[in-house]
Structure 1
Amino acid sequence: MDGIQRFDSFDGTPIAWHELGEGRPLVLIHGYFSDANTNWIKYGHAAILAEAGFRVIMPDLRAHGQSGRPHDAAAYPADALAMDAEALIAHLDLDAGCYDLGGYSLGARTVVRVLARGHAPAPRRVILSGMGLEGLLDTGARAGHFRRVLTGLGSHARGTPEWMAEAFLKTTGGDPVALLGILDTFVDTPRGAIAGIGQPVLVAAGVDDDDNGSHAALADLLPDARLVEVPGNHMSAVTKRELGEAIRDFLTA
């Protein structure tokens, strides 16, 4: 099945998702300021995985892409993104051990929150890409960076990380008000909860990506992890074919 579908999440916010391929379900969650098309479809990752026999399910996070973009602060409770993922997994009737779950950047953080909360059926395998250990333990630093981006639009000096983030925001047509709400949903995950993830985990990141801390430290903390570095930094690694190939090779090993 291909195309875009929608359902109403835990609080009625409409969540859109894209699908490509048939086979074992694989839920992939995109990063902040992005959307499913930009992270997973545009650069061929979804096609690589569909060709390998997966039903690739790619939601647009609330406030992103073609999902609802509410401006009401009540739409952004703590762990809202994890609750959206749990609602999608329930809507799709995915059973424990019968699907895989992964994400890039904020998507990876959302996956960790789903696992830490323990409300959804447990996936077979897990992909954490574009994420380091510090970005899970302490979400405040990253939230602060993006809050500066969104509250200072048009004022950032050319070439700074804030300027580059704003430039990316323009390419995806993001809604600054809704995206500010997302920052209020961030929840830190304790070290012990991360170390308690028992599934095989792929930790994949650009070799020059330190935006969310150390991906090597994250892999070291997990009991069953494979670390793969692909070319690029946080912004460019997700455009590299090697990322999709690393996910495919991990899931089919």
Structure 2
Amino acid sequence: MAISPTKPDPQYFDSDDGYRLAWREVGEGRPLVLLHGFFSDAWTNWIRYGHAAAIAERGYRVIMPDLRAHGDSAKPHDPAAYPTDILARDGQALIRHLGLEDYDLGGYSLGARTVVRMHVAGARPKRMIISGMGLSGLANLGSRADHFRHILENLGSHERGSPEWMAEAFLKTTGGDAEALLLILNVFTDTAKEEIRAISMPTLVLAGDEDQDNGSHEALAAILPDATHVEVPGGHMSCIVKPEFGNAIAGWLGPAP
């Protein structure tokens, strides 16, 4: 696992409701916005293990926000700061702030769910990357939210080595704010299959070959009109730290036009 020697300084913009949100950038060229997963941040998902660098080498400006309640972004404890689809609205606010019109958009896990919600709300990237996500993780995600609620409400009591214990250990490495993250669970929104089928742009469905945490990625790829399904080694928490993950994205994107 090659670790990047530099962590780009954060840049900031204000959300539509006034919260200060952070993003980082690597590279120059065609814009690609990448959203990280739950408990994580831009550095951990995209930069630390070399994925952003591998993509940037193909001629991309890789733009990576820290989602609300994560990383260097605001972590409000006010429930009113977490209305339905607020993460999608934050993503659209960043795209407006940067003046992006012709861009690609991708995400991992919660980030993948967010890019789909952005599409439902009108975002139209040229290409989309949905990674670490299956069909039920988009269309029927109640059990996944319950899983994380159980973790966050019982910190310190999970059996060593269990999935819950491993998730809590990861949370400690990112310095996550448990109270804010619990509130994020309230914004999880199901996406109807008809809305998923409406994603007509070329889409990469990327997942670990042992990852079924968010349902079947094969089933997700099967209902998308223009999907490429790629598997890389590992499960939900392990595939994203391997170079194959970033290389798969870079390979699918190809050299920037």
**TM bucket by the smaller chain?**
over 0.9
TM-score, normalised to structure 2, is 0.95
Say if 1:3 and 1:20, in contact at 8 Å, map to a contact too. no
Residue of structure 2 equivalent to 1:183: 185
Which whole-Å CA distance do the structure 1 matches of 2:144 and 2:169 have between them?
A: 17
Residue of structure 1 equivalent to 2:3: none
Residue of structure 1 equivalent to 2:222: 220
Residue of structure 1 equivalent to 2:9: 3
Residue of structure 1 equivalent to 2:212: 210
Percent identity, aligned pairs only, is 65
**1:62-211 equivalences in 2 (<5 Å):** 62-95=68-101, 98-118=102-122, 120=123, 122-211=124-213
Aligned length: 248
The one-letter amino acid of 1:58's match is M
Can you give the 5+ residue segments of structure 2 that lack an aligned partner in the other structure? 1-7
Can you give the 5+ residue segments of structure 1 that lack an aligned partner in the other structure? none
Which whole-Å CA distance do the structure 1 matches of 2:115 and 2:143 have between them?
A: 19
Indicate the RMSD between aligned Cα atoms, in angstroms: 0.8
Which whole-Å CA distance do the structure 2 matches of 1:244 and 1:163 have between them?
A: 26
Which whole-Å CA distance do the structure 1 matches of 2:70 and 2:171 have between them?
A: 10
Q: Are 1:27 and 2:33 matched, yes or no?
A: yes
> Cα offset for 1:150?
0.4
> Cα offset for 1:34?
0.3
Residue of structure 2 equivalent to 1:40: 46
Encode CA deviations 1:203-224: one digit per residue, 9 max, x unaligned.
0000000000000000001000
Residue of structure 1 equivalent to 2:60: 54
> Cα offset for 1:3?
3.1
Residue of structure 1 equivalent to 2:21: 15
Which whole-Å CA distance do the structure 2 matches of 1:86 and 1:138 have between them?
A: 24
Which whole-Å CA distance do the structure 1 matches of 2:244 and 2:221 have between them?
A: 19
Where has structure 1 moved over 3 Å in runs of 4 or more? none
Which whole-Å CA distance do the structure 1 matches of 2:225 and 2:200 have between them?
A: 7
Which whole-Å CA distance do the structure 2 matches of 1:126 and 1:3 have between them?
A: 26
> Cα offset for 1:183?
0.2
Q: In structure 1, the residue corresponding to 2:187 is in which secondary structure?
A: coil
TM-score, normalised to structure 1, is 0.97
Which whole-Å CA distance do the structure 1 matches of 2:197 and 2:168 have between them?
A: 34
Which whole-Å CA distance do the structure 1 matches of 2:238 and 2:194 have between them?
A: 31
> Cα offset for 1:160?
1.5
Which whole-Å CA distance do the structure 1 matches of 2:156 and 2:197 have between them?
A: 41
